[in-house]
Structure 1
Amino acid sequence: MSSSQPFGIDFGGTGIKGAPVDLSRGDFANERVRFKTPHKSTPRAIADIFVELLAAFPACTGPVGVTVPGVVRHGVVHTAANIDRAWIGTDADALFTAATGRDVHVVNDADAAGLAEVRYGAARGRRGLVIVTTLGTGIGSAFLYDGVLIPNSELGHLEIDGHDAETRASNRAREKDNLSWHEWAKRLQRYYRTLEQLFSPDLFVVGGGVSKQSAQFLPLLDLDTEIVPATLRNNAGAVGAALYAAEAEMVRGTDRGLPTSSP
């Protein structure tokens, strides 16, 4: 039996995972499937994996949302800080749609996580400016004002004390520099305090895999802004991507139904 549920794919530096998503619950409708990200993670190589991933769910025929760790404008990838530079200038929407034969919509990975958290998770029902950050290989960020996404904020690349912020405060930096939780918290304190000074947000949401251990470092931060761990954690990217794809298809359908002129 076929299903029109959207499909979410989270493409990261180490893994590619995906599953159909139940948008009424904000959760996977089936057990997710995971592939290891190949060393040569060019757009064409990733497209081949997406074809194989979708083949594992033949009954799911809905639109496909895909996260990419880079700036995405109108389906085109413009930056590649932590992925193959062949992504820069790639029309990923067109590439993946042609490769899979499905309607595919690409979104920045942190923006997808932000959409998921504001619709289903830690930021649900919160008004004002919410900044969702994902602490992982780099630092991703999503701006949401009254629940509306302002895309491609890329706050992991702010220059703080002469450094690209994510080179000092990401989870990879914690592991690479062998920092204790207290040592890492000092770097996070500097990072989030800078965001406070620049944007005066109403809420910070902290995601990424390390958010499972948020009790080890969030209580060490002294901020004026409330800061909470993400609820969807590592599922947020795929769930948010599926939500993004479903809403993009709704907009497309509405546009197609508009009259072209008045009588």
Structure 2
Amino acid sequence: MKHERGFGIDIGGSGIKGAPVDLTTGTLAAERVRIPTPQPSTPEAVAETVGQILDTFGWKSSFGCTFPAVVQHGVTRTAANVDPAWVDCDAATVLRKVTGRDGLLVNDADAAGVAEVAFGAAGSRAGVVLLATLGTGIGSALIVDGHLVPNTEFGHLEIDGHDAETRAADSARDRDDLDWEQWGERLTRYFTHVENLLWPDLIVVGGGVSKKFDKWSPYVRTRTPMVPAKLLNEAGIIGAALLAHG
């Protein structure tokens, strides 16, 4: 059986990673390449690095590309951990001009959510699936019956007078020296609020702390089933390639 392939790029504040993706199995078709994010991380400099990764694999056609920002129709509206020049940048046009290929830009959490629904922990789950990535902040992706609702920012909900991620992200656990039970109480408050807004059928938790799911999840009380993400650091690449192909 012939397996279709796509290509995914994952742009982060410290590194840019990419690889071809087997779209039938949802796995990387070759070992990914990582290049440090250029400094300053202007759109043109980052696009040149993206082009280097594509050239490494001899990839000539369109590709998917994650970005740590709100992305509307190829325009990056925000910029987290990258140069401010990305704000309101027509990034899709910059990518096309610099790389000579069409690139579909997508928020990084959105790409991870799509990958987890297609090939990971959500297992093509019907209904409402929420992916929450717990790291420096809280990223979110909302998928309804397999369709992405892009650019949700549920990490920035105001809860008890605070921006939610400043209290419940993994970075807040480190900053406030919380044990798993104490952090679990904060996560319970956060996820209860989100549940009351969305009534999801499944919550998938991503980010590095998902590897320690068994340590903290017993202290989180939700009415919604909660599972750890499966694809981890490859989710963005896989989701971006899938969205670009679809």
Distance 1:36 1:182 in 2: 36
**Do structure 1's residue 113 and structure 2's residue 112 form an aligned pair?**
yes
Q: How far does the alpha carbon of each residue in 1:132-179 deviate from its partner, in whole angstroms, 9 at most, with x for none? A: 111122111111111111111111111111111112212222233333
SS in 2 for 1:6: strand
Q: Counterpart of 2:245 in structure 1: which amino acid? A: A
**Matching residue's letter, 1:11:** I
Give the corresponding residue for 2:212. 213
Q: Give me the whole-angstrom Cα distance separating, in 2, the residues matched to 1:8 and 1:71.
A: 18
Q: Give the TM-score normalised by structure 1.
A: 0.88
Give the match for residue 242 of structure 1.
241
CA contact (8 A) 1:5 1:62 kept: no
Matched, 1:44 2:44: yes
CA, structure 1 residues 173+40, in 2 after alignment: closer, same or farther (shift >3 Å)? farther
What TM-score, normalized by structure 2, do the two folds share?
0.93
Aligned length: 244
Cα distance in structure 2, aligned partners of 1:86 and 1:113:
25
Distance change (3 Å), C-alpha of 1:4 and 1:203: closer
State how far apart, in whole Å, the 2-side matches of 1:16 and 1:184 are: 31
The 3 A distance-change label for structure 1 pair 164 and 75 is same
Q: Is the CA contact 2:7–2:18 (under 8 Å) kept in the aligned structure 1?
A: yes
Counting aligned pairs with the same residue, the percent is 55
d(CA) in 1 for partners of 2:188 and 2:157? 14
Unpaired segments ≥5 residues, structure 2: none
Corresponding residue for residue 171 of structure 1: 170
The answer for unaligned runs of 5 or more in structure 1 is 248-263
Give the aligned CA root-mean-square deviation in angstroms: 1.6
Shift of 1:245: 0.8
- Counterpart residue identity of residue 168, structure 1: R
Q: Work out whether residues 168 and 187 of structure 2, in 8 Å CA contact, stay in contact via their aligned partners in 1.
A: yes
Q: CA deviation at 1:4?
A: 7.5
Q: Equivalent residue for 1:202?
A: 201
